[in-house]
Structures are given as C-alpha cells and as structure tokens.
C-alpha cells in the first residue's frame, strides 16, 4: 500500500492538493525566507527473509568387502588293516644221517636224510656224504674218516675238528704266518700247543714260517693250510693223518709160523729234550703233552720240550 502524504494545509478542514497558499510578509528588509519542509517519507519495506535450510543428509555407505578365503584341505586317510595270520607248523625233522655219513650210494641204492645243517653232497660219481657250507661256531667241520665236512662261516676257522673263532691274542695253526722272510720279522706269537716252523722242514729254501702242530692220527693235516706235521709213524693221506700200517698193502701168506708179539713202549720226551727237528720232523711226544713242544732251539734247528 502507498502511504498517505502528510496533509497539506487544510482548507476548511479538508486537505486540498490544489490549494496554494502564498504568504507575503512585508518587512523593512525584504527577505525572502523560503522554508523548505522536507517531508521524509519513510518507506518501511519489510523484507521477509525466508531462510531455507537445506539439510543435506549425506548417507555414507561404507561397503566392507570381507573376502573370506576358505581353504578346505581334504585329507583322506586310508587305513588298510592287514591281518597277517601266522600259522606256525612245527614239523619234527626226520633225519638219519649225521655229519660225514654216507647219505647216497647210487650203485647200491642206499639213501638217507642228512640232519641240519648238513646236506647230502656228492663226493664221487657214486657216493655222497653229509657235508655243509658256512657252518656255525661249534659245528663239526672235520671227521677222521670222511675228512673235511665243509667250510666254516667267515671269519671262523676249522680247528680241532670244529668251527672255531679266530683268536686275537695269538696266531692259530691254520695258515698262521708267524715269521715273514720277505720283511725278516716275526709277525706273531703262536697260540699254546703250536710252534713257529717252516712249512717244509726238508726244504732249506723254505723261509716263511707258520704256527703248526704235531698232529695225532686222524687229525686234519691239510698241507695247503699249513696245519703241522703228523706224529712219527703216520703220514698225511688225503689231508688226514693216517697210521703207516694203514698206508701199506699187506700180502698174507699162509704158513705155519710162530708169531712172537713184542710190545715196545716208546718213552715220552723229558723237558728240554728235542721234540721236533727241521731236518727229520717229529722226534716224539713231550711228557708234558704235545703242546709243550714249543721252545725254539736255533742251534739244533728245531724245537724242544718246554721245561
């Protein structure tokens, strides 16, 4: 709305815009006083400020991506149960032949079963004997009639007819080198019951010496193993010390004779007596036993009985 302008001087109580009032003031001094009335029209403009509050809602969407890696290990356990049923069948061994026995004769159709650890082994085109290989300690390895019964398991040796362990403290009389001519030295001490002597007592050229024994009848005299010398009155036949009487052919003549039997007792050898000569072999048996023939006598070129 437009405000009313202040009323001009009223005429008859009514504002008249067309009325002009002229006031003439006569003074001595003519002064024109112009009164300017400035009507200030105050226009009040009411400004209504509409404050629009814009609320911006920021929706923050947080997307959490959870990556779950699931490793599935499938372990397949296969359990195989093997049930072993051991059936022990005890079989009583039947055997009727011992070490060295004749187990087969093809000529006369003779046969038998060797007892363990021996097996029937061919020795000729006709005959087989119970023998073994890699025989254990204590097993028989030699027989006075059959000879060798097989080999002993290493490192054992066949000594005194059975498989025997090697002695680490002395040299045994089976390939037992005790003096080496090559280096000119004694290389070992012989075990009790044996002596260090050349292999061939009758061959001066033989220089190496081996631990050997004076062997009784029926003992192993395998010359390839340098075991020793058969006692006087016996000889080494097929590696067995055999009595001289068993090595000769007897011719029997039937005559009327008078037989005189003379029994000769051979005296044993006393201490310090010569019992072995490198030239002639065994000279007898020491009274203290065969093993006591072990004292070397350089002057006599042989051995004598221990004191």
225-237 confidence digits (pLDDT tens): 999 999 888 999 9
Q: Rounded mean pLDDT of 49-71?
A: 48
Report how far apart, in Å, the C-alpha atoms of 168 and of each of 180, 295, 299 are.
19, 22, 31
For 116-128, what is the mean pLDDT?
Answer: 96
Q: Is the per-residue pLDDT at 64 higher than 60?
A: no
Predicted local distance difference test score (pLDDT) of residue 55: 45
Report d(CA 128, CA 123) in Å as an integer. 5
* pLDDT greater than 60 at residue 147: yes
Which of residues 245 and 129 earns the better pLDDT score?
129
Q: What is the pLDDT of residues 246-263, one digit of tens each?
A: 765 444 444 444 555 554
Alpha carbon distance 243, 197 (integer Å)? 23
Instruction: Tell me the β-bridge partners of 274.
Output: 304
Distance CA 257, CA 263 (A): 19
Closest CA to 275 of 294, 256, 249: 294
If you average pLDDT over residues 134-161, what whole number do you get?
96
Q: Which of 148, 150, 149, 109 is nearest to 127 (CA)?
A: 109
**Mean pLDDT value across residues 58-66:** 49
**Which pLDDT belongs to residue 286?**
82
């Amino acid at each position: 709305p437009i405000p009313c302008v202040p009323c001009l001087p009223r005429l008859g109580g009514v504002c008249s815009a067309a009325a002009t009032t002229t006031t003439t003031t006569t003074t001595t001094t003519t002064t024109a006083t112009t009164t300017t009335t400035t009507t200030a029209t105050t226009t009040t403009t009411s400004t209504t400020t509409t404050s629009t509050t814009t609320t911006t809602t920021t929706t923050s969407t947080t997307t959490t991506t959870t990556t779950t890696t699931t490793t599935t290990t499938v372990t397949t356990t296969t359990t195989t149960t093997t049930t072993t049923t051991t059936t022990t069948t005890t079989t009583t061994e039947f055997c009727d032949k011992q070490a060295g026995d004749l187990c087969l004769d093809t000529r006369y159709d003779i046969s038998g079963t060797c007892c363990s650890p021996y097996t029937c082994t061919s020795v000729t085109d006709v005959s087989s004997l119970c023998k073994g290989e890699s025989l254990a300690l204590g097993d028989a390895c030699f027989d006075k009639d059959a000879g060798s019964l097989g080999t002993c398991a290493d490192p054992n040796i066949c000594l005194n007819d059975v498989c025997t362990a090697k002695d680490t403290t002395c040299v045994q009389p089976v390939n037992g080198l005790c003096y080496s001519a090559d280096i000119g030295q004694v290389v070992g001490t012989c075990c009790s019951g044996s002596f260090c002597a050349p292999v061939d007592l009758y061959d001066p050229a033989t220089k190496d010496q081996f631990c050997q024994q004076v062997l009784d009848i029926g003992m192993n005299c395998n010359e390839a193993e340098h075991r020793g010398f058969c006692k006087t009155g016996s000889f080494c036949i097929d590696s067995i010390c055999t009595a001289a009487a068993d090595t000769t052919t007897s011719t029997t003549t039937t005559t009327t004779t008078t037989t005189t039997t003379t029994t000769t007792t051979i005296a044993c050898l006393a201490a310090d007596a010569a019992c072995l000569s490198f030239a002639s072999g065994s000279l007898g048996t020491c009274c203290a036993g065969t093993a006591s023939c072990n004292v070397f006598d350089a002057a006599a070129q042989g051995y004598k009985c221990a004191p």
